[in-house]
Amino acid sequence: MINQYETVFIATPVLSEPQIKETVEKFKRIISENDGKIIHEEDWGLKKLAYTIQKKSTGFYYLIEFEAEGQFINKLETEYRRDEKIMRFLTFKMDKHAVAYSEKKRNVKQQIAKEV
């Protein structure tokens, strides 16, 4: 069954810009190669962490919203765990209310972008 998911990962801050892009592309490719469909993505950039992780106080945040089969999530999270560049990650299944909220939020951002 196809469900909609949202995943956020935090990459280590010692990466260069090309390395971050390469890491993001790797996970987008994993999603696509496993019959997933990327709906939306956001680069949140370098942010301060609430607490230190691996002796680091900042990290690069990235969000990907996608549709995929339920059993694919275990494979995706295994890839996160294997990648030494990823400090933390969270993936969750979106219910109909979360999907509607996400679509509404994207539409508002598009309207603001058109006005500017």
The strand ranges marked E within 1-116 are 2-11, 37-53, 56-69, 86-93
Q: How many residues in the chain? A: 116
Packing angle of the helix pair 72-82, 17-33 (nearest 10 deg)? 160
Lowest mean pLDDT among 12-21, 34-43, 81-90, 107-116: 107-116
- Mean pLDDT for 31-55 is 93
pLDDT interval class at 105 (50, 70, 90) = confident
Listed residue (26, 39, 4, 6) closest to 86, CA to CA = 26
CATH code: domain of residue 99: 3.30.70.60
Average pLDDT value for the chain: 92
Q: Check residue 10 and give its pLDDT.
A: 96
Structure tokens at 80: 């996160």
Instruction: With cut-offs at 50, 70 and 90, classify the pLDDT of residue 111.
Output: confident
With a pLDDT cut of 70, the percent of the chain lying above it is 100
Which one, of 71, 105, 115, 63, lies nearest residue 88 by Cα? 63
Q: Which of 21, 23, 40 is nearest to 87 (CA)?
A: 23
Domain that holds residue 14: 2-115
Say how many domains are in the chain: 1
Confidence of residue 115 (pLDDT cuts 50, 70, 90): confident
Element (H, E) at 67: strand 56-69
pLDDT at 50 over 80: yes
Say how far apart CA 29 and CA 80 lie, in whole Å: 13
